Chain A
Amino acid sequence: MKKLLIPALLAALIVGCSSTPIDETAGAPVESRSGSGVTPVTAGGLDSRGLPRELTDPKSVLSQRSIYFDLDKYEVKAEYQDLVAAHAKYLVANRGFKVLVQGNTDERGSREYNLSLGQKRSDAVKRSLIVLGAKEEQIESVSLGEEKPKNPGHDEGAWADNRRADILYRAPDGRGEF
């Protein structure tokens, strides 16, 4: 709770439109601040790639973009339904936004077969988004196969990290992550 409160208070200070007197001692101790002691926060607004902050702010569920899969599988597991639903809701509310869903696999086996397997994973995410109201035109599902491993290791843990689909966003003005 504190974590959320302090930036909000600081933001109020920066904007300087607060009519409520602020007790400086109410927040965290002053000496715990690092650097300037000011974390700039913009309500709403865009990040450096031109995307709304709610898509990239680590505190927003929409900043979670990865859906993980079991070995040789391409069904979206129950534990990722809420995440997919949150993205579908955003796409429904923001019809001008597009997403690129990139499917990935672990390194074992044929590169081309893995490319097709990654495609099945991104297709599965795309279908879930459409079922929940997103439009076909908003989504492109592609595959990176085993070519872009997030984890460069060669063990079970690395392989699990790499069996994944990632969601990338693009704003109506063409700016964004792809």
Chain B
Amino acid sequence: MPHIFHKILLTLSLLAATLAQAQLSIEITGAGASRIPVAITNFAGDAAAAQVVASTVRSDLERSGLFKLVDPAGATLDENAQVNFGDWKNRGADALAAGSLARGADGRMEARFRLYDTQKQVSLGGAVYVTGNEQLRAAGHRIADYIYEKLTGEKGVFSTRVAYVVKTGGQFRLQIADADGQGAVTALSSSEPIISPVWSPDGSKLAYVSFEKKKPVIYVHTLASGQRQVVANFKGSNSAPAWSPDGRKLAVVLSKEGNSQIYVVNADGTGVQRLTQSGGIDTEPRYSPDGGSIYFTSDRGGSPQIYRMGANGGDAQRVSFEGSYNVSPRPSADGKSLAFISRRDGRFQLAVMDLASKQVQILTDSTKDESPSFAPNSRMILIATETGGRGVLSAVSSDGRIKQRLSIAAGDVREPAWGPFIQ
């Protein structure tokens, strides 16, 4: 018995060490032009828990680049406290949130809060989130999402998760972390490369390409159980999976008939059907949010460019025109814009196209941007890029104003995929 405990302890401490080393650290390198001034008071009740929750809310709002945090000057207010609106207005806060943490009868923590408009001197609403002790940060993310949505009119993404691949030495790890980079866990370790992770629309699974069989093979991996299923392992290469918005199908790229072409398969790997019939390369399919069309990269016109076709194949229209290398199309969830990577003067940069006006804007000044991934609220785009010869992730707002860098001390980070809203 004692040595079992010893083993558990050892495992736990190793796990803790791994977690600490694997943590993504975030650095904000740009902020929005007009930020909403907001004060988050210290929350009342259980002091330690209140501290975790309030600081999570503050750092989420600050990191978004859309808020300016007003110092609460030590004020501790619960959600029912009388608010001196004039006082907070004088301190420069347009909005104020107060709250409390209390242990419920079942031992779980209850995080309560209320949000106020100090100009109009009214409550904008409030909520209670019940959570386990280890989930306090999650409660903070929920509160931050609520505040974000009330004050900006858009849904927040602080409670979402991101997936990415870390390469350390010859080892590849597919990791999942909270959108703030905290709480990273490894879903898959391999000595062979892992690329192109994509979240199922319900956030329960990842599809990706693993080279563990000495060639690219597509897997669907259920995160909770760790169960993995091969969905495409045909002769040749199998790559670039993309979920249909209803989660029932995957667009994939297969070379089984020679040359990379786009096919569709059921999410369990059955019912493979070919969608494109070109003599060149067709790859990187992505469904439009309504599921009606597929954006993809093709060299059919002589250079890699972005095209769009119906979800069942058929004629394709060219979408990108400027430059000789436009790849990795990713439509935003609101259907309004398309992020992609454009080569300009030998530099690979994140670009975004307004789909209505076809206007293209280059959002970064880097040289090695790859793999863009929209946040589910369409406001931020996560990309892989390089700083000082190391792979890092960068989050850029779709207007290019807000920039954050996410890096891991001991490794190359690449292939980011921003998960869906949690349900």
- For the A-B complex with A115-B240, A116-B255, A143-B239 known, give 8 more contacts whose Cβ atoms are closer than 8 Å: A102-B214, A110-B370, A111-B196, A112-B284, A113-B328, A115-B253, A144-B193, A147-B211
Residue of B nearest to A143 (CB): B237
A16 at the B interface (CB under 8 A): no
Closest 9 CB pairs of A and B: A116-B260, A147-B193, A142-B215, A110-B327, A116-B281, A143-B237, A116-B283, A112-B240, A119-B255
Known interface pairs A100-B215, A119-B260, A148-B211. Does A113 touch B193 (Cβ–Cβ under 8 Å)? no
Is A161 on the interface with B (CB-CB < 8 A)? no
Q: Report the minimum CB–CB distance from B170 to chain A (whole Å).
A: 10
A123:B325 contact, CB within 8 angstroms: no
The answer, yes or no, to whether A163 is at the interface (CB within 8 Å) is no
The complex places the Cα of A56 from the Cα of B283 at a distance, in Å, of 36
A113 touches B327 (CB 8 A): yes
Task: State whether the Cβ of B235 lies closer than 8 Å to any Cβ in chain A.
Answer: yes
User: Is residue B415 within 8 Å, beta carbon to beta carbon, of the partner chain?
Assistant: yes
Is there an interface contact between B195 and A154, defined as CB atoms closer than 8 Å?
no
The chain A residue with its CB closest to the CB of B195 is: A111
**A contact residues, total (Cβ < 8 Å):** 26
A178 at the interface (CB under 8 A from B): yes
The answer to whether B107 has its CB under 8 Å from any CB of chain A is: no
Q: Is A109 at the interface (CB under 8 A from chain B)? A: yes
Chain B: interface residue total (CB-CB under 8 A)? 35
For residue A144, which residues in chain B have a CB less than 8 angstroms away from its CB? 193, 211, 215-216
Closest CB in chain A relative to B117 CB, distance in Å: 46
Q: Which B residues, 365 to 423, have Cβ-Cβ distances below 8 Å to chain A?
A: 368, 370-371, 389, 415
The B291-337 residues at the A interface (CB cut-off 8 A) are 297, 304, 325, 327-328
A143 to B236, CA, bound (A): 8
For this complex, 20 residue pairs linking A to B, each with C-beta atoms less than 8 Å apart, are: A102-B215, A110-B297, A110-B327, A110-B328, A110-B370, A111-B371, A112-B284, A113-B297, A115-B216, A116-B281, A119-B259, A123-B255, A140-B215, A143-B215, A143-B239, A144-B215, A147-B193, A147-B211, A148-B193, A148-B211
Report the nearest A residue to B194, measured CB to CB: A147
Main secondary structure of the interface of A (DSSP, over half): mixed
Question: Do the beta carbons of B258 and A123 come within 8 Å of each other?
Answer: yes
Q: Using a CB-CB cutoff of 8 Å, which residues 242-280 of chain B contact chain A?
A: 253, 255, 258-260
Q: Which of B196, B215, B282 neighbours the largest number of chain A CB atoms within 10 Å of its CB?
A: B215
Please tell me if B219 contacts chain A, counting CB pairs below 8 Å: no
Partner of B253, one of A109, A116, A154: A116
Interchain CB contact under 8 A, B348 and A112: no
Answer whether residue A99 sits at the interface, using C-beta atoms and an 8 A cutoff.
no
Given A115-B216, A119-B259, A120-B259, residue A109 in contact with residue B327 (CB < 8 A): yes
Tell me if B214 and A112 are in contact (CB < 8 A).
no
Q: Report yes or no: A112 in contact with B236, Cβ–Cβ below 8 A.
A: no
B103 proximal to A (CB < 8 A)? no
Q: Bound complex: CA of A22 vs CA of B284, how far in Å?
A: 67
Contact: B237 with A142, CB < 8 Å?
Answer: yes
Residues 133-178 (chain A) with a chain B CB within 8 angstroms: 140-145, 147-148, 154, 168, 178
Q: Judging by beta carbons under 8 Å apart, are A110 and B341 in contact?
A: yes
Q: Nearest Cβ in chain A — how far from B89, in angstroms? A: 50
Q: Taking the complex as formed, is B91 at the interface, i.e. its CB lies under 8 A from any CB of chain A?
A: no
Which chain A residues lie closer than 8 Å to B371 at the CB level?
A: 110-111
Residue of B nearest to A74 (CB): B281
In the assembled complex, A129 has its CB within 8 A of some CB on chain B: no
Question: Which residue on chain B has the smallest CB distance to residue A118?
Answer: B237
A113 touches B284 (CB 8 A): yes
A contact residues around B155 at 8 Å (CB): none
| A154 closest partner in B (C-beta) | B389
Q: B151 to chain A: closest CB distance in Å?
A: 37
- In the complex the two chains form, is B281's CB within 8 Å of A120's CB? yes
Contact with B281, one of A108, A117, A140, A154 (Cβ below 8 angstroms): A117
Q: Chain A residue with minimal CB distance to B414?
A: A111
Residues of A within 8 A of B253 (CB): 112, 115-116
B235 to A140, Cβ gap below 8 A?
yes
Is A140 within 8 A of B236, CB to CB?
yes
Assuming the contacts A100-B214, A102-B215, A143-B216, asked whether A112 and B193 have C-beta atoms less than 8 A apart, the reply is no
Q: Which residue of A lies closest to B328 (CB)?
A: A110
| In contact, A113 and B281 (Cβ under 8 angstroms) | yes
A112-B195, A115-B283 are known contacts. Are A141 and B327 too (CB-CB below 8 A)?
no
- In the complex, the chain B residue whose C-beta lies closest to that of A127 is B258
Determine whether the beta carbon of B304 is less than 8 Å from that of A113: yes
A113-B297, A115-B237, A142-B236 known; A123+B259 contact, CB < 8 A: yes
Q: Which residues of A contact B195 (CB under 8 A)?
A: 111-112, 115, 145, 147
**How far does the alpha carbon of A112 sit from the alpha carbon of B306 in the complex, in Å?**
13
What residues of B have a CB within 8 angstroms of the CB of A123 in the complex? 255, 258-259
Q: Name A76-95 residues within 8 Å CB distance of B.
A: none
Considering the complex, which residues of chain B in the window 162-198 have a beta carbon less than 8 Å from any beta carbon of chain A? 193, 195-196
A90 to B325 alpha-carbon distance, docked (Å): 40
Closest to B217 in A: A142
Contacts of A115 in B (CB 8 A): 195, 209, 216, 237, 239-240, 253, 260, 283
**Contact B415–A111 (Cβ < 8 Å):** yes
Give every chain A residue within 8 A of B297 (Cβ-Cβ).
110, 112-113
Report Cα–Cα, A32/B235, bound state, in Å.
51
* Measured CA separation A142–B215 after assembly (Å): 6
Residues of A within 8 A of B237 (CB): 115-116, 118-119, 142-143
The residue in chain A whose Cβ has the minimal distance to the Cβ of B415 is A111
